[in-house]
Structure 1
Amino acid sequence: MKTSFKSSENRRFLMFAILLIVGLFNLGIDVANAQPPAVKNIVLVHGAFADGSGWKPVYDILVKKGYNVSIVQNPLTSLKADVEITNSVINRQDGKVILVGHSWGGTVITEAGVNEKVAALVYVAAFMPDSGETTGKWVAAAPAAPEAGFTDPDQFGYVYFDPAKFHGGFAGDLSQAQSDFMNASQVPIIGKCFEEPVDNVAWKSKPSYGIIATKDKALNPMTERKMYERGKAQITEIEGSHVVFISQAEAVAKVIIKAANAQ
């Protein structure tokens, strides 16, 4: 009886071991066949008259959700210079990247987005030019809102957003105090940047998402729509000013996350 009992136990143990090995083997197959994780690297590119710190509300949301977020600080001295620094940040990433641009930053990501690490593009109240086009072409595509205005180039060639119009034309849905600080710390852009044509166009070969800021006074929302529709971008309308990425950070982050999860 003892021998029979031990033999029965051994058989059960052997069967359990076989089932365990088969289960682990199947688990390995399931893991190998699983879909790759969503893109975790997000690179944010600012536009003219602001710097990368404006992205902090979006940054905070994305980081809390587990994304690795990097912010480009454009010199705003030429399209080439801005594309180079953007590529420098992209190249530091470990894996694929969702590249996000605001305003002038849209022109930058159009050119820099051809980088092989870039999986998709997100345009936030941004320019989305085609090859051979300049940003200035789209600035002039619709009459300027009376709330908006730019200074003439100074002796160094820099252009500022008209300080007297900054709140109404650039950041109308922010508090006066927050707008005043952004006005005082605005980063000027070399005016000739708007005359530089784009050579490479990433949105022709990569998925694109476009956010229209419906109360934008700096870039006409209809101009945004026209560019996005031509580029076959997935369009989201968000009620906000030109700095919609600050005033409506949750809604903007949602579009970026959608882009990351879709790749």
Structure 2
Amino acid sequence: MTNSILGAPATGAPSLSVVLVHGAFVDGSGWQQVYGELVDRGFEVLVAQHSTASLEGDIAAVERLIAAARNPVLLAGHSYGGAVITEAGNHPRVRALAYIAAFVPDAGESVATLNEAPAGPDETKAPLLPPQDGYLLVDPARFPEAFAADVDPATTRFLAAAQQPWAITAAVTPLTRAAWQTRPNFYLVASADRMIPPTAQRRMAQRAGAKITEIDSSHAVMMAHPQEVAAFIAAAASTVTSAERGDGQ
């Protein structure tokens, strides 16, 4: 990792709960190892299981978890989940946002809008099949390499076969408010990503004023490097709580 915040100390019981928000084509089970790592660190962790059928519905699912959490919340979103947490993060109980190889829209932008930006040299975008009945899928033959080249092939073949279709309406719905305008935010760039170009990730993170960390990983960074992702989230939480207490506290 480069430009890392992983050295931030975590002392005492965590005072933030963590809500993990998955992206398109997968479900919350991709967070399993990150969940375990964070629970071992003492965090209350809630995992969103949203349909990706509509942006509004996915936001509502995350807002229910925010309301149910025991503590103020840090939202962590992967891929399309970044758009979900950007809107849901306006909830008054949310203290910070952690983006993991994620889209970071501004108000009036959608994931589809952000995806229109060209990829850089030697970069690729998600190899999507033509839409069917209003839903998108990644080409199953290309899914393992594009989504999770550094994950066990047997796992990636299953993920390709078990894709959750992503509604076009969720991809094209613009956000109304961007929580990163008013919340501390952190971004973990996956520098070997072949779904969201790394240059796009850096550009979105910089626009949001995020504290940026990089890791040499595929798009499925939470599965390929769960310990590092958990450390990134824990360090973000520690940074926020330390700032709220005041330096030196």
Same fold (TM over 0.5): yes
The one of 215, 219, 222 aligned to 1:245: 222
> Is contact 1:62-1:253 (8 Å) kept?
yes
Q: Is residue 68 of structure 1 aligned with residue 44 of structure 2?
A: yes
> What's the CA shift for 1:36?
9.5
Q: 1:79 to 1:119 in 2, by over 3 A?
A: same
Matches within 5 A, 1:1-263: 38-143=14-119, 145=123, 148-155=126-133, 157-262=134-239, 263=241
Cα distance in 1 between the residues matched to 2:156 and 2:83: 24
Cα distance in 2 between the residues matched to 1:40 and 1:106: 19
> What's the CA shift for 1:87?
0.2
Secondary structure, counterpart of 2:228 in structure 1: helix
> Is contact 1:42-1:69 (8 Å) kept?
yes
Q: CA RMSD in A?
A: 1.6
> What's the CA shift for 1:143?
3.3
Cα distance in 1 between the residues matched to 2:97 and 2:125: 29
Q: How many residues align?
A: 228
Cα distance in 2 between the residues matched to 1:36 and 1:64: 13
Paired residue type of 1:99:
L
> Is contact 1:147-1:165 (8 Å) kept?
no
1:119-175, CA deviations, whole angstroms, 9 ceiling, x for partnerless residues? 1100000000101011112112123955841112212x1111111110111111112
> Is contact 1:127-1:138 (8 Å) kept?
yes
Structure 1 range deviating more: 54-63 or 144-153: 144-153
> What's the CA shift for 1:39?
2.7
1:25-81, CA deviations, whole angstroms, 9 ceiling, x for partnerless residues? xxxxxxxxxx99643311000000110000001001011111111100111111101
> Is contact 1:43-1:100 (8 Å) kept?
yes
Unaligned runs of 5+ in 1: 1-34
Cα distance in 1 between the residues matched to 2:107 and 2:38: 32
Structure 1 range deviating more: 135-144 or 160-169: 135-144
Cα distance in 1 between the residues matched to 2:151 and 2:206: 28
Secondary structure, counterpart of 2:222 in structure 1: helix
Q: 1:67 to 1:37 in 2, by over 3 A?
A: closer
* Runs of 4 or more above 3 Å deviation: 35-38, 143-148
Which structure has more RCO (C-alpha within 8 Å, separation ≥ 6)? 2
> Is contact 1:148-1:168 (8 Å) kept?
no
Structure of higher CA gyration radius: 1
